[in-house]
Amino acid sequence: MRFFGRRLVFYAITFWAAVTINFFLPRLLPGDPVSALIAKKQGQLSTDAIASLKAMFGLDSNQTLWQQYLHYWGDLLHGDLGTSISYYPAPVTSIIKQGLPWTIGLVGISTIIAFTLGTLIGTAIGWRRGTWADALLPISTFFSSVPYFWLALIVITIFSVNLEWFPSSGSYDRDMVPNLSWDFIGSVIYYGTLPALTIILTSIAGWILGMRNMSVTVSSEDYVTVAQAKGLSERRVMFGYAARNAILPQISSFALSLGFIVGGTIVMEQVFSYQGIGFYLLSATSAHDYPLMQGCFLVITLAVLLANIVADFVYGVLDPRTRQEG
Amino acid sequence: MAAELLDLEDSAELTSVQTGPSGKKRRFLFMRNAKALTGLGILGFFVLIAIIGPWIAPYDPDARSKELLQPPSWDHLMGTTHTGQDVFSQVVLGTRSVLVIAFVAGFAATLLGIVIGITAGYIGGVGDESLSALSNVFLVIPQLPLIIIITGSLPSAGGLSVALVIAITGWAWGARVLRAQTLSLRRRDFVEAARANGEKTWRIVMAEILPNLTAIIAAGFIGTVGFAVLSQITLSFLGLTPTDEWNWGTVLYWAQSQLALQRHAWWWFVFPGACIALLGMALTLINFGIDEFVNPRLRSTGMNARDLRKRGIRPRIGFTPVVHEAKEDRA
């Protein structure tokens, strides 16, 4: 249990660090973006919005930095991330609530598919190395060096513009009202296929390569040779003996690559006009909507942290050694 | 000392190198690796383009012409944009800023990683705990969103500031690996001997520990350069860097915002993207080369079926052949 305790403390520290970065970032940056923004939007901003902007950038001269910091935490713990400028007067939290489920659904489902498929393929290639299966390696290397958004453009060109199989933008049919009917879910899947395909194509290579190299390393261990010598079936040795141990580093690298996948996805959402959190983050960035920008960043970080905690617990359950040493 | 090179205790991927040829020959060995050579070749090609770009670009990348949205031809190797600008010239001239920013960012991040990683591994104790916690925090926080909100808040995001932002967010991976390795080197006999001889700490670090980390530092540097290429191109694609400064991301930004997709102008985004992929692959290949150089088990696994047969190696379950490359033909 000490292992889990230590990990939880670490994630608490990371969350605190992310919040603190978020707090200090607008205060440390050179220039004075808020005054510039207020001057530019003369008259369009209400006094409320100006006050919240000033508070956010520490222009509230009545308070010390420490008071501002405590105030910021207080707001945050009450779920108050400020008021959006570009979607005024909507609070940032309600905008994020709209976008978050889409991103989590998209990234979650396609990452699980990519992880499962990639690990299986990697096991198979590692097991049969030195055959035609090795030809898959350079192909997957290519896909892993490609930026998500570029592959999104290519995928749209092929499947949407030329073949006209799937729609090129949006997350569901705009004529429908979101509800829990089969029609609506079908439409979500239909619109989500291309974005999901993009994520799977780019992220699967990492899983294949990692699993392949690990199975190659593990397959020369003594216990695999023993299993082989006992006359167990090929499949039994491959999955029951080799893959079981080879998968452990996959899970720990899952935690590290998740941030990267999420980063790629939010840019890809822009290409597909997929109304997830990345879409809001980027539109906020180009509109200089600082409260929304920072709110999105904080929520993305929090989501990645939660996923990491889950991956850590899975790892702890699968590998008894971590629990002993911790 | 060279044999100690890769004894990463807590990494199952890397196993210790058997006693091999002396240092000079080992470096040679790396150069003989086909993957590393291919990667270095492609990288060298792009570096060359970055240097001579202004002289070989056939057109002014900003110049408009009457040939609107032309597909690739001998006049315009990569076609033209909606205002008749030559995509080839834009890509060629954009190479320089891509590489300069990537290498500056990679260099700064590696330096930061070396300082933090080696310090943490060498001093140990509370200092180590807090420095590793710091790098773990930076590893877990999603980097691209962080880069986006920092550059998005900057009043103007020129080349150097983008490189620095990337370096600040991308140093942690290198630091973590270096710390683990320093930790295992710290108690080795040769380091103890140096300490017993009364060597100064900085000399032990520079002369005894640092040389043993060369391969890891190189791999980390190449990895960070790849990360920097992707990050800065993403930023330019999103229009967060000045859109009149050409790099591959800027070309893609204009292609996306001027609806190249809907106008069926595939050449506008396929070529710049292919350059990104090619450069990314080159960097990955160099890193594969470094991996195989330090881990003999991966060397045989990197070969294809025909090579294995040629060398008389039959891949079998239960053992991994250790390949000593090209030992015989050098005196």
Q: Which domain holds residue B45?
A: 29-62+78-310
Mutate to test the interface with B, among A10, A19, A129, A150 (most CBs of B within 10 A): A150
Interchain contact, A300 vs B149, CB within 8 Å: no
The percent of residues above 90 in pLDDT, for chain B, comes to 10
Interchain contact, A296 vs B154, CB within 8 Å: no
For residue A242, tell me if it sits in a domain. Answer: yes
Q: Rounded CA gap, B266 and B286, in Å?
A: 30
Q: Are residues A123 and A66 in the same domain?
A: no
Choose among A146, A214, A286: nearest Cβ to B280.
A146
The percent of residues above 70 in pLDDT, for chain B, comes to 78
- Looking at residue B14, its pLDDT comes to 38
- Looking at residue A55, its pLDDT comes to 67
For residue B67, tell me if it sits in a domain. Answer: no
Distance of CA A95 to the CA centre of its chain: 18
For residue B175, tell me if it sits in a domain. Answer: yes
Q: Rounded CA gap, B182 and B190, in Å?
A: 13
Interchain contact, A266 vs B262, CB within 8 Å: no
- Looking at residue A56, its pLDDT comes to 65
**For residue B239, what are its two tokens?**
């229009």
Q: Which domain holds residue A250?
A: 92-320
Cβ(B140)–Cβ(B173) under 8 Å? no
For residue B6, tell me if it sits in a domain. Answer: no
CATH (domain of B39): 1.10.3720.10
For residue A206, tell me if it sits in a domain. Answer: yes
Instruction: With a cut of 80, say whether residue A232 has pLDDT above it.
Output: yes
For residue A233, tell me if it sits in a domain. Answer: yes
For residue B70, tell me if it sits in a domain. Answer: no
Is B149 touching A (CB cutoff 8 A)? Answer: yes
Is A286 touching B (CB cutoff 8 A)? Answer: yes
How many CB atoms are closer than 10 A to CB A255?
20
Amino acid, res. A254: F
Q: Are residues A172 and A33 in the same domain?
A: no
Span B13-32, pLDDT tens digits? 333 344 444 555 555 555 66
For residue B260, tell me if it sits in a domain. Answer: yes
Is B12 touching A (CB cutoff 8 A)? Answer: yes
For residue B73, tell me if it sits in a domain. Answer: no
Is B164 touching A (CB cutoff 8 A)? Answer: no
For residue A326, tell me if it sits in a domain. Answer: no
Q: How confident is the model at residue B315 (pLDDT cuts 50, 70, 90)?
A: low
Span B253-306, pLDDT tens digits? 888 888 777 778 888 888 888 899 899 989 988 888 887 777 666 665 555 555
Is A249 touching B (CB cutoff 8 A)? Answer: yes
Q: Rounded CA gap, A215 and A238, in Å?
A: 9
Please state the domain count of chain A.
Answer: 2
| List of chain A residues whose C-beta atoms are within 8 Å of the C-beta of residue B150 | 25
Lowest mean pLDDT among A35-49, A113-127, B55-69, B255-269: A35-49
Q: Are residues A63 and A144 in the same domain?
A: no
For residue B105, tell me if it sits in a domain. Answer: yes
Quote the mean pLDDT of chain B.
78
With tokens 């239909």, the residue in question is A190
Q: Rounded CA gap, B1 and B20, in Å?
A: 11
Nearest CA in chain A to B173: A256
| List of chain B residues whose C-beta atoms are within 8 Å of the C-beta of residue A198 | none
- Looking at residue B330, its pLDDT comes to 41
Our CA-based measurement puts residue B212 at a distance from the nearest CA of chain A, in whole angstroms, of: 23
Phi, psi torsion values for A83, nearest 5 degrees:
-110, 135
**For residue A265, what are its two tokens?**
């996805």
Choose one of A78, A100, A123: the last residue of a domain.
A78
How many CB atoms are closer than 10 A to CB A322?
17
Binding-face residues of B in 242-271 toward A, CB within 8 A: 252, 255-256, 261-262, 264, 266, 269-270
Q: Rounded CA gap, B164 and A45, in Å?
A: 33
For the segment A241-250, the average pLDDT, to the nearest whole number, is 82
| List of chain B residues whose C-beta atoms are within 8 Å of the C-beta of residue A86 | none
In the A/B pair of chains, how many CB contacts fall below 8 A? 188
Please state the domain count of chain B.
Answer: 1
- Looking at residue B112, its pLDDT comes to 93
Cβ(A121)–Cβ(A214) under 8 Å? no
Q: Are residues A121 and A34 in the same domain?
A: no
CA A274 vs CA A22, A100, B227, B255: distances in Å: 25, 11, 25, 19
Interchain contact, A214 vs B13, CB within 8 Å: yes
Q: Are residues A63 and A138 in the same domain?
A: no
A89 preceded by cis ω (within 30°)? Answer: yes
For residue B289, tell me if it sits in a domain. Answer: yes
Q: Are residues A37 and A118 in the same domain?
A: no
Q: Are residues A170 and A313 in the same domain?
A: yes
Nearest CA in chain A to B313: A130
Lowest mean pLDDT among A121-130, A172-181, A191-200, B180-189: A172-181
Is A260 touching B (CB cutoff 8 A)? Answer: yes
Mutate to test the interface with A, among B230, B256, B271 (most CBs of A within 10 A): B230
- Looking at residue B24, its pLDDT comes to 53
CATH (domain of A157): 1.10.3720.10
Nearest CA in chain A to B319: A220
Q: Are residues A129 and A219 in the same domain?
A: yes
With tokens 């300490």, the residue in question is B195
| List of chain A residues whose C-beta atoms are within 8 Å of the C-beta of residue B297 | 216-217, 220
Is A134 touching B (CB cutoff 8 A)? Answer: yes
For residue A160, tell me if it sits in a domain. Answer: yes
Is B174 touching A (CB cutoff 8 A)? Answer: no
Q: Are residues A4 and A73 in the same domain?
A: yes
Q: Rounded CA gap, B44 and B99, in Å?
A: 11
Q: Are residues A55 and A134 in the same domain?
A: no
Q: Are residues A69 and A97 in the same domain?
A: no
Choose one of A78, A102, A120: the last residue of a domain.
A78
Q: Are residues A127 and A5 in the same domain?
A: no
For residue A178, tell me if it sits in a domain. Answer: yes
- Looking at residue B108, its pLDDT comes to 94
Interchain contact, B155 vs A30, CB within 8 Å: yes
Interchain contact, B133 vs A13, CB within 8 Å: yes
State ipTM. Answer: 0.81
Span A194-225, pLDDT tens digits? 888 888 888 888 888 888 878 877 877 788 88
For residue A84, tell me if it sits in a domain. Answer: no
- Looking at residue A97, its pLDDT comes to 86
Choose one of A78, A107, A129: the last residue of a domain.
A78
Cα-Cα-Cα-Cα torsion A184, A189, A192, A196, nearest 10 degrees, comes to 160
